A and B are shown apart, each in its own frame.
Chain A
Amino acid sequence: MSILQVNGIYKKFGKTDVLRGIDFSMEEGEVLSIIGSSGSGKTTLLRSISFLETADRGTITLDGEVVFDAQNTLKKSKSEQRKIQSKFGFVFQSFNLFPQYTALENVMLAPRLAAKELNDYHKHKKEILHEIEQEAKALLDRAGLSDKYNNYPCELSGGQQQRVAICRALALKPKIMLFDEPTSALDPEITNEVLKVIKSVADLGMTMIIVTHEMNFARNISDRIIFMENGVIAEEGSPEQIFCHPQNPRTKEFITSFSQNVEE
């Protein structure tokens, strides 16, 4: 059974149709990259999946449970909605770390707030908080940030901030990680440190969707690639197929324009 099913997603902003019927599904542990020219609707799709936008039509099913149905949006309680929300980890292009908290506090904040809703929170408060801290530290360690626990975002480089943001999203143990151009706000020299962390998350078997303009990275990390054009999936296939034998002329054009850019 697929872990994520996206069916017939439509989204309009005013009079512009941004998404015009998106369907795809993913298996557990799969890494899917979404590529496509600027304005094709990649960000909007990712935001619709994670409830940052409300799609006009369509359904989203996670692990067999319908988590979004445009026809029927009111039935979930707020706490149910938040539980579903935390099954999607989201990494923003612009990091969006909380500036008043240290790296470690950024990672611990949401799990701590969520823990308050546990029934045995008051009885085992100490153990619970200790466990959250240990897990947060372990995440930062794996991202190569073991010496940055107590640094504030303004004291970190862009690459380090984005790595903290990835840890923050992972701390809630999401089912699926969504990355929206995680390296486009970074200087080229430091994109690699972030890509390495994303790769290590993929290697642990995390299911993820990555919107990216890093073609080599998409090619290496992905099990599957979606090429979007004008709000629809124009082509979908293995990296090999999309990069070496694209069927759709628009895909071909897009891929060639990129390899030319690289040569320049």
Chain B
Amino acid sequence: MFVEVSLKLLEGFGVTLKIFLLTLAFSLPLGLIISFGSMTRFAPVKWLTKGFVWIIRGTPLMLQLIVIFYGPGLVGTWAEAQINAGASGALIEWLATWHVMDRFFSVMVAFVINYSCYFSEIFRGGIESISRGQYEAGQVLGMTKTQVFFKVVLLQVIKRIVPPMSNEIITLVKDTSLARIVMVYEVIYAAQKFIKSDGLLWPLFYTAVYYLIFCGALTLLFGWIERKMSYFKS
């Protein structure tokens, strides 16, 4: 039984890892772009970005997941009802084509949007914490803005954001369990199946081992990166 449970949970944890890695792969670059949006001098873009980040960070990920999974279907049903009641027009017909998206896809959309916003705030904090003197020193040495960013600022930003990033990334590992509420088969969901089928509760507790091992490995990785960059202070 133990081996069977272990394998089933491993299968579930594979999905957990997939959500984790895909979220990172998309939300790190997207977060950098959003951070530039929130720092731009062009006011409309700046305030739109800030408003969006505020909404995403100010509401629970669980709620965002539900809205993204059920929302399009509800809109589609509503539009169809309107058409049946005699409404017409290109917009309403387009809305009527909306339907529930694939479960895994909805989870990815929600996670990528949510984590991009969190990462963007970390990037913004890191970039804004670099003193003006560093940019000015680059300028008086005749460097271009691009050279200053890549040769002077970037490494200092990375060094500063490693601790908050590692926090956020470890939170992401555990947030993947929210995928369960739209029935995506990740590790917690896999364990809960044993309650129904065999009346076993311990597999649920056992999932903690998977999380602990993975977060432990991540902690070691981030510690190593921090040590790698400890040769300078900024």
Contacts and interface: CB of A to CB of B under 8 A. Distances in A.
A99 B231 CA distance: 9
A99 B233 CA distance: 6
A85 B144 CA distance: 11
A109 B131 CA distance: 19
Contacts of A89: 140
Interface in B193-234: 231-234
B147 interface: yes
A109 B141 contact: yes
Interface size class of B (residues with CB under 8 A): 20 to 34
B133 A94 contact: yes
Interface residues of A, number: 28
A110 B147 CA distance: 10
A79 to B, nearest CB: 9
B225 to A, nearest CB: 14
Contacts of B140: 50-52, 85, 88-90, 169
B136 interface: yes
B151 A152 contact: no
Nearest to A171: B141
B231 A152 contact: yes
Q: Which label, helix, strand, loop or mixed, suits the secondary structure of the B interface?
A: helix
B142 A82 contact: yes
A98 B150 CA distance: 12
Contact of A98 (B134, B231, B233): B134
Contact of A99 (B142, B144, B147, B232): B232
Interface string B126-159: 0000010110110111111001000110011001
A52 B139 contact: yes
Contacts of A51: 139-140
A87 B133 CA distance: 19
A109 B133 contact: no
Contacts of B155: 100
B199 to A, nearest CB: 58
B142 A100 contact: no
A172 to B, nearest CB: 7
Contact of A154 (B131, B147, B156, B233): B233
Nearest to B155: A100
A41 interface: no
Interface of B: 131, 133-134, 136-137, 139-144, 147, 151-152, 155-156, 159, 231-234
19 contacts: A50-B140, A52-B136, A52-B139, A82-B144, A85-B142, A89-B140, A90-B140, A92-B133, A96-B131, A98-B134, A99-B156, A109-B151, A110-B141, A110-B142, A110-B143, A113-B147, A152-B232, A153-B232, A172-B142
Interface of A: 50-52, 78, 82-83, 85-86, 88-90, 92, 94, 96-100, 109-110, 113-114, 152-154, 168-169, 172
Closest 5 CB pairs of A and B: A86-B142, A110-B141, A96-B133, A96-B137, A154-B233
